[in-house]
Amino acid sequence: MKKIGLLMLMGWMILFGSAFGQQIYQWVDEKGTVHFTDDVGLVPEKYQDQVKEKKTPKEPASSPPVTLTRDKPPKELQEAPEKKDILGRGEDWWRDKAMEWKQKLINAEKDFSAAQTALKAKEKELEDAKLKPKSFQRKLQEEVKVLEEKMNDQKKQVDEAKNMLEKALPKQAEEYRADPSWLKTE
């Protein structure tokens, strides 16, 4: 029995001895949970930019060693609690929502521009077809109408995305008491 206890003690000494002088990586997820690991490869990709590195001391301090747990990290590794809105959503949630609408706006503007260019080309083709058969001209007129509808739909999508970014999201953030700076995407 004493041999097993001695082996366990030696194992613990080796384990804790190898932990000194190693890196500890910390990040906070969208739920506000603080995570720690000694392998940066285990940090999820979307949190890589917010990882904080801490180096454990090379020699143990005179106080007993600190054991890291997910529930209660040491004071020097704790951050101020993440601010949240009244529904418990943090900055990442609001920033992701703003980025989603920003991307929709970019795509809608690109599609609108393409539809506008196609419409102008078709109108030019129709104008150049004055001496061609009436059936061909009618076909081109129908294509112009389809392109006009498509351009109008794209314009509505651009307007919707702009409205969300400029009015609706800021209003929602205010209603849910979220920090307005969380909506900045630049």
Indicate whether 55 belongs to any domain: no
Q: What per-residue confidence (pLDDT) applies to 169?
A: 87
Per DSSP, the three-state class of 81 is: coil
pLDDT computed for residue 71 by the predictor: 55
Tens digit of each residue's pLDDT, the chain (186 residues): 666 765 565 665 555 555 555 677 786 888 878 777 777 777 788 877 777 777 655 554 555 555 555 555 555 556 666 788 788 888 888 888 889 989 999 999 999 999 999 999 989 998 998 889 999 989 989 999 999 999 999 999 999 999 988 888 888 888 888 888 888 876
Contacts (Cβ under 8 Å, ≥6 apart) of 124: none
In this predicted structure, what is the pLDDT of residue 2?
66
Residue 54 lies in a domain: no
Ranges assigned E (strand) in the chain: 23-28, 34-37, 52-55
- Token pair recorded at residue 36: 């720690």
- pLDDT at residue number 139: 92
- 96 domain residue, yes or no: yes
User: pTM of this prediction?
Assistant: 0.53
Angle at 42 (CA atoms; ends 101, 32), nearest 5 degrees? 50
Q: How many structural domains does the chain have?
A: 1
* Residue 12 domain-assigned (yes or no): no
Q: 74 lies in a domain?
A: no
Task: Evaluate whether residue 8 is within a structural domain.
Answer: no
Domain that holds residue 153: 92-183
Do the domain assignments include residue 145? yes
Q: What is the pLDDT of residue 80?
A: 60
Domain-embedded: residue 17: no
